[in-house]
Amino acid sequence: MKKYYLVLFIAGLTACQKTNTNNIAAPWEPDYKLNRSESSIVAFEKKDAEKMPAPGGIVFTGSSSFTKWQSAAEDLAPLPIINRGFGGSTLPEVIYYADRTITKYKPKTVVIYCENDMFGSKPKTPEQVRDAYVTLVKKIREKLPDVLIYGVSLKPSPSRWAKKDDVIKANKLIQDYIKTDKNHQYIDVWPVMLKNGRPDGSIFLSDSLHMNGEGYKRWTKVFKPILEKTV
């Protein structure tokens, strides 16, 4: 009988270990300084000193696809967009600057788009990207427990198409997490960015990574009706 219970205990322990492995990836440490974009953050703060956005707005946070969407406020008007994406950023950097670029504005809504984590000199696995996303959400909710959050799918880019399977997996893992979190929704930009099953080259700049005006027109058609429901 003792042997029987010992077998059950070991089986249960093994199952718990497998579950934890599936839910939490191995720790990941950045090989860059988290404050490398300080100049961009200071520029935001100078802009805020001139005119602080009103509370209750919609903060865009993340990487260059938001940074380069300079016309976001106009494209999505009259929605109160506060674009605080900074180019080249990764999720650890967005987490590091969250108090200065997200929560200080006391937004009603936060929209997250950050796609660089799997493409640096020390890339993350899809699971590690998911874990970083979860950490960012928890960081935001420490100060804004009831804020509405939208997670935007990592986009399909021609220059990164070779790793599309990892991108698809990261998107799926993030989407699965979003389903478990209150006041949290997923925005899928893939359908409007593909042509014949591949990234539509006509909506990208010559670097095959960043979008041109047509790309942002398509994003506007996706984002606007969704975000209009929040005001």
Beta strand segments in the chain, E: 58-62, 81-83, 109-113, 148-152, 184-187, 194-195, 198-199
Residue with tokens 């925005």: 187
Structure tokens at 225: 């009706």
Instruction: Check: CB of residue 85 under 8 Å from CB of residue 65.
Output: yes
Task: Give tens-digit pLDDT for 188-226.
Answer: 999 999 999 999 999 999 999 999 999 999 999 999 999
Whether 29 has a pLDDT exceeding 50, the answer reads yes
Distance CA 59, CA 196 (A): 33
Residue owning tokens 């993340």: 62
Instruction: With cut-offs at 50, 70 and 90, classify the pLDDT of residue 231.
Output: confident
CA–CA separation, 37 and 203 (whole Å)? 27
Rounded Cα distance between 41 and 35, Å, is 9
- The pLDDT confidence band at residue 23, using thresholds 50, 70 and 90, is low
- Main-chain dihedrals φ then ψ at residue 76, nearest 5 degrees: -105, 10
DSSP string, 106-124: --SEEEEE---TTSSSSPP
Amino acid at 103: T
18: which strand partners?
none
Q: What is the mean pLDDT of residues 78-87?
A: 97
pLDDT digits (tens, 9 = 90+) for 112-144: 999 999 999 998 999 999 999 999 999 999 999
Q: 150 by DSSP, 3-state: which?
A: strand
Ranges of beta strands (E only) in 26-145 are 58-62, 81-83, 109-113
What's residue 19's pLDDT? Answer: 35
Long-range contacts of 19-26 (CB under 8 A, 24+ apart): 24/127, 24/131, 25/125, 25/127, 25/128, 25/130, 25/131, 26/125, 26/128
DSSP structural state of residue 168: H
Domains of the chain: 36-230 (3.40.50.1110)
Average pLDDT over residues 156-174: 97
Between 11-15, 27-31, 171-175, the lowest mean confidence (pLDDT) is in 11-15
Query: Whole-angstrom Cα distance, residue 183 to residue 149?
Result: 6
